[in-house]
């Protein structure tokens, strides 16, 4: 059995105003500066990981072809 709930338009608007339409918290300049510096410090790490992954891939390509050459020779 389900219960029926009757909500008036005024109650719904009041609920939306108090829960959903909350004003965002204001971030101070020091917090924003700390967050910006933190994000900027992540950039070299991300670029470095991408470049090292690319270098590993480029070094692995010749070994793949050498292995394929040996596998063809065995057949």
The structural domains of the chain, with segments of one domain joined by +, span: 9-74
What does the pLDDT read at residue 25?
A: 65
What does the pLDDT read at residue 72?
A: 75
What does the pLDDT read at residue 59?
A: 94
28 Cα distance to chain centroid? 24
What does the pLDDT read at residue 13?
A: 85
Low-confidence ranges of the chain (pLDDT < 70): 1-3, 21-25, 73-75
What does the pLDDT read at residue 55?
A: 96
What does the pLDDT read at residue 34?
A: 94
What does the pLDDT read at residue 17?
A: 78
């Amino acid at each position: 059995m389900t219960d029926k709930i009757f909500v008036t338009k005024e109650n719904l608007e009041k609920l939306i105003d108090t829960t959903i339409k909350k004003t965002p918290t204001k971030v101070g300049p020091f917090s924003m500066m700390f967050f910006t510096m933190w994000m900027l410090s992540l950039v070299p790490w991300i670029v470095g990981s991408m470049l090292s992954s690319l270098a590993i891939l480029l070094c692995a390509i010749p070994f793949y072809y050498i292995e394929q050459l040996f596998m063809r020779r065995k057949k």
